[in-house]
């Protein structure tokens, strides 16, 4: 037994998990040297020819797999494959240096073949560089190297994992999307999914004489959420135990043409989904929320751009090169900082202005989509995403029910209209006081009592909570749902707000406060 373990380093872990998936095992501790040789044979067979020689330029650029000079030198590439994939086990030479990934002795063999051009030194034994490990420095570059000594010492086993790492990633927007998790089962599931898709794509490409693997049809963040939900559905079918976990994805290219200082296109972008957001996403498969989730997701897809000229034949998909986006999925990555903007956009259906033509959020319309308003889903969001106290959630719901009953009973369209239109805390407080006075004067018990009101909107004497508008939006969601259930909007179709009636400052400025 090899006793290989996950280390927490995404490239190594994903490569190791992909090896486990390839040999159909369930854990790295189950691996044998025979299993590693099976993977090494795959590398020697397929990494040395198309379409993988093109695919590997994303992650193992400047390796002998991808060098154009060796395009017609099949034996050279096979020799290099044996060098980086088959130097492991008890018979492999070792150095006194320690592998940075496994803690085992580093490989005692140079990771370069004899050069065609005389006069160039071989690489130091066991030292790996950019052509072996994505995103590290190249040969002879001493910047950011410990003691000015470039390269990283690696064992033969670690080197094999790093070579197989690309097979556990998805090709997305011309780069690799690598999914890592602190949960070994999720890590393995993501690697297995990517390996399955890559093997299928390789088979189809070879059958069709193609030299490149196709890009994923979705953008990186959208693809990450789609992958997570697909894995969760399979786990649900398998009745696996649900354990909390987080996910971090790395969208990367090893190309030397990109700069870390380039904000628009850096070589690496990192997307993180913490445990509470993952738990929120997992409810998509819960029967209580599936229907709402599905309708919200359907209305979140980016619209294809229209053809430049009418009558040009079939419309070309202008989004194909970068992957289609789902704005709902991508806005999830900005939570919980943009919680109020998320609630206004997706749970209150308030449109966003000043967005590209392809952005579907510009056409959200509460009057036309009132059937999408769901307090049950909103309460789930409050509990899972921003960890709102359950008691406060219940108080908001009860206040929404109370005000909805008042509007229905008194047919007070003016109060409902002003409730969502008012922008200043004093005006809002006055609105509630007048409604309370009107209700009591009509012979009823007080509509709004002090303690529930304070719990929802205020934090001290005549001091509104900083996020009182957010609380007002939540009460409004419950009011709208109840009034819709009571068919009040059938008689008052113009009571629901249009864009001009809603304070969209939060949406227009991308404010992050609640």
CB 83 within 8 A of CB 111: yes
Q: Is residue 327 domain-resident?
A: no
> H-helix or E-strand containing 187?
helix 184-207
Longest dimension (CA), the chain: 102
CB 509 within 8 A of CB 503: no
Pairing mode, if any, of strands 463-464 and 458-460?
antiparallel
CA-to-CA dists, residue 467 to 40, 186, 390, 463, angstroms: 58, 37, 17, 11
Rounded distance between C-alpha atoms, residue 474 and residue 3, angstroms: 53
Helix axis angle, 390-410 to 375-384, nearest 10°: 160
Say how many C-beta atoms besides its own lie within 10 A of residue 407's C-beta. Answer: 24
User: Could you tell me which residues are beta bridge partners of residue 326?
Assistant: 301
Q: Give me the pLDDT at residue 222, please.
A: 96
Q: Is residue 345 domain-resident?
A: no
Torsion from C-alpha of 467, 471, 474, 478, nearest 10 degrees: -170
Helix, coil or strand: residue 382: helix
Rounded distance between C-alpha atoms, residue 257 and residue 487, angstroms: 60
CB 266 within 8 A of CB 258: yes
Which of 209, 237, 265 represents a domain boundary (last residue)?
237
Residue 423 has φ and ψ, to the nearest 5°, of -120, -10
C-alpha radius of gyration, the chain, whole number: 29
3-state secondary structure 208-276: CCCCCCCCCCECHHHHHHHHHHHHHHHHHHCCCCCCCCCEEEEEECCCCCCCCCCCCCCCEEEEEECHH
Closest CA to 489 of 376, 403, 378, 408: 408
Which of 237, 268, 299 represents a domain boundary (last residue)?
237
The alpha carbon of 353 is separated from its chain's Cα centroid by a whole number of angstroms, namely 25
Closest CA to 190 of 34, 182, 285: 182
3-state secondary structure 116-180: CCCCCCCCCCCEECCCCCCCCCCCCCCCCCHHHCCCEECCHHHHHHHHHHHHHCEEECCEEEEEE
CB 70 within 8 A of CB 119: no
Q: How many domains does the chain have?
A: 2
Show the low-confidence residues of the chain (pLDDT under 70).
1, 114-121, 142-145, 147, 236-241, 256-257, 259-261, 306-323, 459-462, 464, 499-514
Domain span including residue 75:
10-237
How many CA atoms, within 13 angstroms, populate the side-chain half-sphere of residue 384? Answer: 19
3-state secondary structure 307-368: CCCCCCCCCCCCCCCCCECEHHHHHHCCCCCCHHHHHHHHHCCCCCCCCCCCCHHHHCCCCC
Q: Give me the pLDDT at residue 310, please.
A: 52
CB 397 within 8 A of CB 480: no
Rounded distance between C-alpha atoms, residue 359 and residue 65, angstroms: 41
Which two three-digit tokens encode residue 476?
A: 């409004």
Q: Is residue 297 domain-resident?
A: no
Model confidence, pTM = 0.87
Q: Is residue 251 domain-resident?
A: no
Q: Is residue 344 domain-resident?
A: no
| Residues contacting residue 81 through CB under 8 Å, at least 6 positions apart | 40, 43, 44, 47, 48, 65
Which of 237, 253, 269 represents a domain boundary (last residue)?
237
CB 475 within 8 A of CB 364: no
Which two three-digit tokens encode residue 412?
A: 């007070």
Q: Give me the pLDDT at residue 321, please.
A: 41
Q: Give me the pLDDT at residue 162, please.
A: 97
Q: Is residue 427 domain-resident?
A: yes
């Amino acid at each position: 037994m090899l006793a290989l373990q996950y280390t927490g380093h995404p490239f190594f872990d994903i490569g190791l998990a992909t090896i486990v998936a390839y040999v159909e095992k369930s854990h790295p501790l189950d691996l044998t040297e025979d299993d590693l040789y099976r993977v090494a044979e795959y590398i020697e067979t397929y990494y040395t020819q198309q379409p993988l020689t093109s695919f590997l330029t994303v992650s193992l650029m400047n390796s002998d797999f991808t060098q154009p000079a060796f395009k017609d030198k099949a034996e050279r590439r096979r020799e290099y494959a044996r060098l980086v994939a088959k130097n492991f086990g008890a018979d492999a030479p070792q150095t006194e240096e320690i592998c940075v990934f496994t803690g085992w002795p580093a490989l005692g063999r140079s990771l370069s073949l004899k050069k065609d051009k005389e006069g160039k030194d071989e690489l130091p034994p066991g030292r790996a560089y950019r052509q072996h490990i994505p995103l590290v420095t190249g040969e002879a570059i001493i910047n950011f190297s410990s003691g000015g000594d470039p390269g990283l010492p690696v064992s033969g086993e670690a080197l094999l994992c790093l070579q197989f790492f690309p097979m556990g990633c998805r090709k997305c927007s011309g780069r690799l999307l690598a999914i890592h998790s602190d949960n070994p089962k999720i890590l393995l599931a993501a690697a297995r999914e990517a390996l399955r898709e890559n093997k299928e794509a390789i088979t189809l490409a070879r059958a069709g004489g193609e030299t490149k693997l196709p890009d994923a049809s979705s953008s990186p963040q959208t693809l990450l959420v789609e992958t997570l939900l697909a894995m969760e559905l399979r786990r649900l079918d398998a009745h696996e135990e649900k354990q909390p976990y987080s996910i971090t994805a790395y969208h990367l290219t090893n190309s030397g043409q990109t700069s870390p200082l380039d904000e628009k296109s850096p070589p690496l972008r990192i997307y993180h989904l913490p445990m509470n957001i993952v738990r929120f996403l997992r409810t998509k498969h819960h029967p209580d929320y599936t229907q709402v989730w599905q309708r919200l997701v359907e209305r979140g897809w980016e619209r294809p751009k229209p053809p430049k000229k009418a009558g040009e034949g079939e419309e070309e998909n202008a989004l194909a090169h970068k992957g289609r986006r789902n704005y709902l999925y991508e806005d999830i990555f900005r939570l919980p900082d943009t919680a109020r903007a998320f609630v206004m956009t997706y749970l209150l259906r308030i449109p966003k202005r000043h967005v590209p033509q392809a952005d579907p959020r510009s056409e959200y319309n509460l009057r036309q989509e009132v059937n999408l308003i769901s307090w049950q889903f909103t309460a789930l969001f409050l509990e899972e995403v921003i960890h709102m106290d359950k008691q406060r959630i219940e108080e908001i719901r009860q206040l929404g029910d109370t005000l909805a009953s008042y509007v229905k009973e008194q047919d007070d369209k003016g109060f409902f209209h002003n409730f969502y239109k008012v922008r200043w805390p004093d005006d809002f407080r006055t609105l509630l006081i007048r409604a309370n006075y009107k209700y009591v004067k009509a012979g009823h018990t007080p509509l709004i009592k002090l303690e529930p009101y304070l719990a929802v909107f205020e934090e001290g004497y005549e001091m509104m909570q900083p996020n009182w508008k957010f609380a007002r939006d939540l009460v409004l969601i419950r009011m709208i749902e109840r009034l819709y259930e009571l068919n009040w909007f059938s008689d008052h179709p113009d009571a629901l707000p249009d864009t001009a009636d809603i304070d969209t400052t939060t949406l227009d400025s991308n404010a992050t406060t609640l």
